A and B are shown apart, each in its own frame.
Chain A
Amino acid sequence: MTSEENHGKPETPEIGEKKWMLRLYVAGQTPKALTAFANLIKICEEHLDGNYQIEVIDLMVNPTLAKDDQILALPTLVRKLPEPMKKIIGDLSNTERVLVGLDIRPIN
């Protein structure tokens, strides 16, 4: 988390040099939440090469956290780092759009 090697513009991070901090908001173990989590792991493994940290927040447990990140829809994936903050809503089933949303260029 602290090992941020700033490489100029945060908009064009290079994989491996950047720590990705992702937060997935869900409400209980719903099918959508499970699908989203599985999709997220898959994408991260494929494209972020271990330089990531996923935090799953269950709003059923911590409802107050919904306000801070302006969460309306569930599931919501929030890219906390690198800045700027990005949000992706849905079960993350469309990998292309997730990559666009997270601003990750596919390796291949």
Chain B
Amino acid sequence: MAKSDKKTKPIVDELLKTPTGINGLDEITSGGLPQGRPTLVCGGTGCGKTLLAMEFLVRGATQFGEPGVFLSFEEKSEELSKNFASLGFDLDDLVAQNKLSIDYVHLEPSEIEETGEYDLEGLIIRISHAIDTLGAKRVALDTIEALFSGLSNESILRSELRRLFRFLKDKGVTAIITGEQGERTFTRFGLEEYVADCVIFLNHTVSQQIATRRLRIVKYRGSAHGTNEYPFLIDRQGFSVMPISSIGLDHPASTERIPTGIPRLDTMLGGKGYYRGSSVLVTGTAGTGKSSMAAHFVDAACKRGERSLYFAFEESQNQIIRNMHSIGIDLGRWVEKGLLQFQNARPSLYGLEMHLVVMHKAIDAFKPGVVVVDPISNLVAAATEAEVKSMLSRLIDYLKMKQITAFCTDLTSTSGSLERTEVGMSSLMDTWLLLQAMEGSGERNRGLYLLKSRGMAHSNQVREFILSNEGAQLKDVYVGPGGVLTGSARLAQEARDKAESLGVKLEIERKQREIERKKAAIEAQITVLRSQFEDEKDELERLIAKEKQRGETLDSETRTLAKARQADELPTQQDSTGKPRKGDRK
């Protein structure tokens, strides 16, 4: 078979990729579709195959300067133009600019008779001509399986399809081939046999009355790719795929801290508040003040001049603004200044994926520094827990990547453990605050615990969380022998403690006075004793003197008497009487 002149593309070692320009798809395929090779897009009816193929061409033509050829086997070009006009694609304009060519390939079995050998050179010539006319780099065949219903000789058809795909490869065009899903195979006629480089499978399921479209890369030869089923959306901006994990865990980590809006809470968080770009979770039972904390955070952000985006799934904007007035926060002024935007929607309004996309789009458009999701637990109404978790993890990844601080509230049911979240979210969060109702002495008070706060020193103490006209305040709870007390019990206990300590003080003073008294008494006694002693001493000294006098007198009298009797001196007697006597005499 002779072929038109081919521009054979040099084969390169590394697999080159052609970006599709479709939101998210390039991330999953890490760059796009295999360049110069055909890609099979298969799926059931109405799952978006044609749209994917067309968007690939339109984005190629408008964003990457690569003209495209669309071969439609099912819809006429006018029908296509009309259908895609509703998605904002002006096909006629692109055709007029020679950036796109739409060729409607029609096969009417009733007016065709087959006699003997044939081939599909005519089709190849048409494609080749269209490619050469535009200098096209992209081709879409939608859906080539129509040939199977138009032509009966399947063996010729199959060998010709093989030749067609080889031709496309030789041409160096990046092609999308669509195929209807078969019962047990990816495509009804086994096209995957021929298109072996990249296979993308589209799926459209309805669960709990909410439809979700999903995309999966079944195969991508020679390239790493995401293997999950990625939800995707078709809206007025076309096709958008939401990569669950393709964002990855390589987002920046800021050391900048931002205040919580409640000074005492800043103190608990090492004195500075949350990290910028971190995720904060507040859990608590009904009426514990979760939204009020969110309002404080938003208020503080707006005061700094940062934009805040508030996703409310339970209350309307006006209701939130009115309610926050009661704790002295005027959110209305920030809305008027354009610093605060509310996005209110019931979770059941649309599927989770739609929520995610709406959130993504709102975030992209408003570029906030702070995002509040109040409450995340309500999203369970729209899907299963696992889905909510995956959706939120994607949201948080996205916010972290953009360095937006996320503040999520979560309503816990009173029946279960408080230290769990309704959707098992806590592990995704950097800071986790628990608001707990503390019941006792006929009242409920709010206690705030800091369950975790990654990467900073934080308080392990429970604080009483008080909502007043001036806003939320944190107070130390009473921790003493009477247990942990809050509210009026704490006040009563504090009063009791005060009275008690006063009593102790008085007692001490009394004891001290007693000591003084005793000291004085003892000192008086000492004085008396001393004077007594002095008296006795005097007396004794007097007696001693008297005795001495008496002894001397006696001695002298004896001598005098001896003299008088003229007796001899009696030295021997004196010697024998001893020295003391001699001494005395002295």
Residues of A within 8 A of B (CB): 25, 27-28, 30, 32, 35-36, 59-60, 63-64, 66-67, 70-76, 84-94, 97-98, 100-101
Contact = CB atoms under 8 A, between A and B. Distances in A.
A82 to B, nearest CB: 14
B544 to A, nearest CB: 158
Interface in B80-130: 103, 105-107, 111-123, 125-126, 128-129
A65 to B, nearest CB: 10
A98 B115 contact: yes
A73 B151 contact: yes
B113 to A, nearest CB: 3
Contact of B2 (A30, A91, A97): A30
B122 A72 contact: yes
A70 B125 CA distance: 12
B113 A91 contact: no
Contacts of A71: 122, 126
- Secondary structure at the A interface, as helix, strand, loop or mixed, is loop
Contact of B118 (A28, A73, A98, A101): A73
Find the residue from B2, B105, B126 having the highest chain A CB count within 10 A.
Answer: B126
Contacts, number: 102
A33 B39 CA distance: 33
Contacts of A30: 1-2
Contacts of B125: 27, 59-60, 63, 66
8 nearest A-B pairs in the assembled complex, by CB-CB distance: A101-B113, A63-B129, A93-B116, A90-B116, A71-B122, A91-B116, A90-B115, A28-B2
B4 interface: yes
A67 B116 contact: no
A46 to B, nearest CB: 15
Contacts of B151: 73, 89
Nearest to B129: A63
A101 B115 contact: yes
A38 B438 CA distance: 100
A88 B112 contact: yes
B115 A60 contact: no
Interface residues of B, number: 26
A101 B123 CA distance: 21
A28 B2 CA distance: 7
B147 interface: yes
A63 B128 contact: yes
5 contacts: A35-B116, A59-B122, A85-B111, A93-B116, A97-B113
Given A72-B147, A93-B115, 6 more contacts: A27-B125, A28-B1, A32-B117, A72-B122, A87-B111, A91-B117
A38 B200 CA distance: 46
B119 A73 contact: yes
B146 to A, nearest CB: 10
Contact of B120 (A32, A70, A74): A74
Nearest to A63: B129
A27 B2 contact: yes
B103 A67 contact: yes
B115 A86 contact: no
B112 A87 contact: yes
Contacts of A73: 118-123, 151
A72 B2 contact: no
A101 to B, nearest CB: 3
Nearest to B126: A66
A60 B119 contact: no
A66 B122 contact: yes
B473 to A, nearest CB: 78
A101 B129 CA distance: 29
Interface string B424-450: 000000000000000000000000000
Contacts of A75: 118
B103 A100 contact: no
